[in-house]
Amino acid sequence: MMLRNDADACGGETPRLLVVANRLPVSAKKTGENSWSLEMSPGGLVSGLLGVTAQFDTKWVGWPGVDVNDEAEKDALSQSLAKMKCIPVFLGEVFDQYYNGYCNGILWPILHHMGLPQEDPHDTNKTFQTQYDAYKKANRMFLDVIVQNYQEGDIVWCHDYHLMFLPKYLKEYNNKIKVGWFLHSPFPSSEVYKTLPSRSELLRSILTADLLGFHTYDFVKHFISTCTRILGVEGTHEGIVDQGRVTRVAVFPIGIDPDRFIRTCKLPEATQQINELKEKFSGKKVILGVDRLDTIKGIPQKYLAFEKFLEENPNWRDKVVLVQIAVPTRNDVPEYRKLKKQVHGLVGRINGRFGSVSSLPIHHLDCSVDFTYLCALYATADVMLVTSLRDGMNLVSYEFVACQEAKKGVLVLSEFAGAGQSLGAGALLVNPWDVTEVSSAIEEALTMPAEEREKRHRANFQYVNIHSAKKWGDDFMSVLNDNISESEMQLREIPLELPQQDMIQRYSQSNNRLIIVGFYGTLTAPMSSETKEMDLKLNPELKGTLRALCNDPKTTVVVLSRSGRDILDKNFGKYNMWLAAENGRFLKYSTGEWVTNMPQNMNLDWVDGAKNVFKYFTDRTPRSFFEATETSLVWNYEYADVEFGRAQARDMLQYLWAGPISNASVDVVRGNHSVEVHAVGETKETEMGRILGEIVHRKSMTTPFDFVFCIGNFLEKDEDIYTFFESEILSPKLSHETRSKSPSSNHSLKKKKKVSFNVLDLKKENYFSAAIGQTHTKARYVIHSSHDVVDLVHKLAVADPTTRMTNSFSDSEIYKTRNANASSKSSISSFRRKELENGDTGQIDM
C-alpha cells in the first residue's frame, strides 16, 4: 500500500502537516534480517486519516507496531517507512506500561464509561504511578521525534488519548507551533472522568493546544463541563477560557473515503467474492458484525440479543446467519483476553443450541480480513449489527452504508456510538444493553419492506458521501488556521500600560473633565486572604485625595457600579460626585435624590427566591460574599478557595436555573470569580448616554467635556463602556439642548431659550480608558491593581495648580451642605417621570 500525497505534485509550496498518532497507518512485520513488510494498521483512526491530508505536505509520526531494539534494524525500518512519509517512534521498554497499561488499561475504560479498574496490589512494578510515568515518558519520546523533524511553520495535529501530554510538551518546546488535538474516543461524563488520578494534569495539558476536536456535541459538552468542574475554568460557546486564554473546542465528526469503498465493490475481485458469499449463504439472510474484539463493542450483548432472536423466532433459525469479524486487538491487556474467552463461550453455546450439522447460526472469525474481502462482506450483508456500548464514532457503520448501493440493507446501530448521531435517521437505533430491543430490531431489519430500506439507505448514503474523511480533515485544519490567526491578533491587541504622565499632563491642560470610575476592585480597599470583613468599602487611603479630586470645579467624577444605592450612599455620600448604582439604573448627585429609569412594572418576583440560593452558597463558601440590589444579585468568590468557589458557582447556577430564575426575564453573567443575575436591562454602555444627559442637564452645563478618563474592573459584558467613548470620538453624536438659564422644574418648555451644544469635544489623545489587572480588555490601557489607583488619584488631585486652591476653600463648605441635604433613603423618581413633569426630555440625541 502506498499512502497518497497529492501535495507532492504541487512542489514544496503546500503547508507541512505532521500527523502524530500512537499508530502509524502502516504496521511493520519482520520478514528477515533488516527487512520488513508493511501492512495497513487496523482501526478507524487510520481509516479516517487516510482520506484526509491531500492539501498538505503530510508526514506521519507514530509507533510502527513492532518492538525494535537493534539500531541497524531501526534504521532499515525507518528507511522503509520514510518512503511512505512515515516517521517511527521506537518506544522500547516503555511501550508495555504506556500502551497496554496507562492507555488501554486505565484511560480507555474511563473514556468509555467502564470505570477505573482496580490496581493490582501485588504487582508493585505496574502501578497507576508507574504506568502514568511511562505514559509521560512515551509522550516525551513522541516530542523528541517531532522536534527532530519539525520545520518552522509546520502544523502538528495530535491524535487521541495516547497523546494527552504532547500539546503541552510541544508548546513548552516552542510556543509558536500550531497544535491541534483530536479525540477519537468518546469523552466521558465528569462524574466518571473525575475518578482518574492525574485528571487535572491531563486536562491542563490538552488545553494548551490551539484547537481541540471531538466527534459529537455530547462529548464536547462532557469535556467542557469536566474542565469547569475539575479545573474551575470557564466554559463558553467557543471553548475553554482560562486566565484570558481561549482554547477552542469544537465538533468535527469523522467520516470515511466513500469512493474507495464504492470503487472497490465494483472491482472484479470483489464481485467474485460477493458471488461466492451469496452462494455460500444462499437461502439465508446475512447479518454482519465487524469489530475489534474490544470490551466497548458490545459483542457479548450482540450474541445474547441474537440468541434471544433465535429463541423467539424459530422460523428464522435456519434462514439467518450472523457473520462476526472479531479483529484481534490489544492482546496483552488482561481485560481483552477475558473478553475473548467470554465471547468464545457464548458462540459455542448459541451454535450448540441452534446449529445443525449443515448450518451454524454464528460464524465467528478471530482475525482481520483484507480490504477487498471486507467490502465484499459489507456488500453481501442484509443487516449490519453494531452494538457498541460506547464508541467514539464507529466507522464500520459508514463503510457498510457505502458498500450497500446495490442491496440497500439495514443498519442496526447502537445509540451509544457517535455514529448514532449522524446515521440515526436511516438506521434502527438500539440500546445495546436491552437484548429484547436489539432482538426486535433484528426482526424488524430482516423483514423491512424494500421501499423503506431504500428510503433509509438513501438518507445514510447521502450523509456518508458528504461528510467524508476529507471534509473532516479540511474542517479541522481550517478552524485551526482561523483560530490561530485570531489568537495572533488577540496577542497583538494586548493593551499597553496606562501612560500616566501623559494622561496627567492632558488632564491638567483641559477645562472640563469627566472621570468615570468603577467601585469594586477599583476604589475598594484591596482584599487579601487575611481580610476578615467582606463588606465593600472605599479604600481608606483614597479618602483625602478622592475628596480633593471631586471638589475640583473642572472635574466631574462619576462612580459607576454594579452595587446598590445603599452601598454607594454609605461610601460616597460625603463626596462631591455622581453616583450611578446598579450599573446606572439609579443615579444621583451625592447631595441629591436618586432618580431611576427603571420601568415601574418591572417583574422582580424572582429576586427573593434567588436571594435564598445566593445566601445558601455564601454560607457554605467561606470568604465569599454576595451583594443584593433591587434588580440584581452578585455572588463573589474571589477570596474564597478559588477551585471550590468555581465548583460552587456551577452548582449555584444549576439551582438557580432549576428554580427561581427558570422563567424570569434575567441575564446571568458568570464572571471570573462571580455569578451575577440581574433583571434584563441595559449594559453600562447604554446607560452611559442617559447618565451623561442627566449630568449635563442637572449641572446646566454649557461647555463640553474635553477630557475623559474611564477606569474600572468591569465585567466583560460591561466593557462596552470603554468603546462608548471611542465611538464618540470617531463620530460625535452626543448633543444636548439646554436652557440659557437653568429652569426650575415648573418652567414650561415654551419659555425656555434653547441652546444646543455637543456634550463631548473629545480629541482621541484626551481619552484614556484603563482596565485593572486584565489583559483581554476593550480598554486602551491597563493598570496592574487597585493599589495603583491610589497613586493615580493622588496625582490627578494635585495635577492642576489652579483648582488645587479652590479645593481647600470649598471642601468644608461642601461637606456641611451635603450632610444637611443627604437623606439615606431618598425617594425615587423616574427619569421619564421627571422628563414629563418638566416638559423636558433632558435627552441626548444618539
Ligand X SMILES: O=c1ccn([C@@H]2O[C@H](COP(=O)(O)OP(=O)(O)O)[C@@H](O)[C@H]2O)c(=O)[nH]1
- Which positions touch ligand X (CB under 6 A)? 42-45, 47, 290, 292, 325, 327, 368-369, 374, 393-396, 399
* Bridge partners, 88 (sequence order): 62
CB of 51 to ligand X, least distance (A): 10
Given ligand L263DTV3, ligand X, none, residue 224, with its beta carbon under 5 to 8 Å by kind, binds none
Asked whether position 107 contacts ligand L263DTV3 by CB under 6 A, the answer is no
For 608, how many CA atoms within 13 A lie in the half-sphere containing its CB? 2
Q: Measure the CA–CA gap between 150 and 177, rounded to whole angstroms.
A: 9
Give the whole-angstrom CA distance, residue 392 versus residue 45: 10
Q: Does 391 bind ligand L263DTV3 (CB under 6 A)?
A: yes
CA 629 to the chain's CA centroid: 32
Nearer to ligand X (CB atom), residue 373 or residue 586: 373
Q: Which does 431 bind (CB under 5 to 8 A by kind): ligand X, ligand L263DTV3, none?
A: none
**For helices 258-266 and 268-280, what crossing angle results, to 10°?**
70
CA 161 to chain CA centroid, nearest Å: 18
Whether the Cβ atoms of residue 264 and residue 371 lie closer than 8 Å to each other: yes
- Binders in 169-188 for ligand L263DTV3, by CB under 6 A: 184-185
CB of 183 or CB of 580, closer to ligand X = 183
- By a kind-dependent CB cut-off of 5 to 8 A, residue 23 interacts, out of ligand L263DTV3, ligand X, none, with ligand L263DTV3
Query: Taking the complex as a whole, how short is the minimal distance between the CB of residue 281 and ligand X, in angstroms?
Result: 19
Nearer to ligand X, 254 or 428 (CB): 254
**Binding of residue 333 to ligand L263DTV3 (CB under 6 A):** no
Residue 599, C-beta contacts closer than 8 angstroms, at least 6 positions apart: none
501-523 b/e (C-beta count within 10 Å ≥ 16 → b): eebbebbbebebbbbbbbbbbbb
Kindly state whether residue 65 participates in binding ligand L263DTV3, applying the rule CB under 6 A. Answer: no
Beta strand extents in 128-233 (DSSP E only) = 155-159, 178-182, 211-214
Judged by beta carbon, residue 396 or residue 790, the one nearer ligand X is: 396
Q: How many CA atoms lie within 13 A of 586 on its CB side?
A: 25
- Report which of 630, 573, 622 is spatially closest to residue 599, judged by C-alpha positions: 630
Query: Applying CB under 6 A, which of residues 156, 179, 202, 395 lies at the interface with ligand L263DTV3?
Result: 395
Binds ligand L263DTV3 by CB under 6 A, chosen from 329, 686, 826, 830? 329
Write the CA distances from 320 to 193, 360, 379, integer angstroms.
Answer: 41, 9, 16
Per the listing, cell 454602555 goes with: 685
Length of the chain: 846
**Does residue 393 belong to the site contacting ligand L263DTV3 (CB under 6 A)?**
yes
Of positions 15, 42, 117, 573, contacts ligand L263DTV3 by CB under 6 A: 42
Instruction: Pick one of ligand L263DTV3, ligand X, none as the site partner of residue 435 (Cβ within 5 to 8 A by kind).
Output: none
Give min distance, CB of 106 to ligand X, in A.
Answer: 17
- Using CB positions, name the residue nearest to ligand X: 44
Spatial separation of the C-alpha atoms in residues 555 and 517, rounded to whole Å: 13
Residue whose CB is less far from ligand L263DTV3, 105 or 392: 392
Q: Give the Cα separation of 385 and 323 in Å (integer).
A: 10
> Which of 16, 292 has the CB closer to ligand X?
292
Outline where DSSP puts E strands in 93-202: 155-159, 178-182
Q: State the binding partner of 389 from ligand L263DTV3, ligand X, none, CB within 5 to 8 A by kind.
A: none
Q: 295 or 439, CB closer to ligand L263DTV3?
A: 295
Least separation in angstroms between residue 361's CB and ligand L263DTV3 is: 27
Contact between 160 and ligand L263DTV3 by CB under 6 A: the answer reads yes
CA distances in angstroms from 191 to 113, 393, 486, 651, 656, listed in the order given: 10, 22, 33, 14, 21
Task: Give CA–CA dist 495/500, Å, rounded.
Answer: 14
Q: Considering CB distances under 5 to 8 angstroms, the limit depending on partner class, which of ligand X, ligand L263DTV3, none binds residue 160?
A: ligand L263DTV3
3-state secondary structure of 744: coil
In angstroms, the CA 487 to CA 484 distance is 5
Q: Which is nearer to ligand X, 46 or 792 (CB)?
A: 46
362 binds, among ligand X, ligand L263DTV3, none (CB under 5 to 8 A by kind): none
48 lies in the site for ligand L263DTV3, by CB under 6 A: yes
Query: What is the nearest approach in angstroms of ligand X to the Cβ of residue 390?
Result: 11
Q: 423618581: which residue's cell?
A: 829
Which is closer to ligand X, CB of 27 or CB of 563?
Answer: 27
> Contact letters (x/-) for ligand L263DTV3, 770-799, by CB under 6 A?
------------------------------
- Minimum distance from residue 520 beta carbon to ligand L263DTV3 (Å): 47
Give the binding site for ligand L263DTV3 (CB under 6 A).
22-23, 42-45, 48, 160, 184-185, 254, 329-330, 391-395
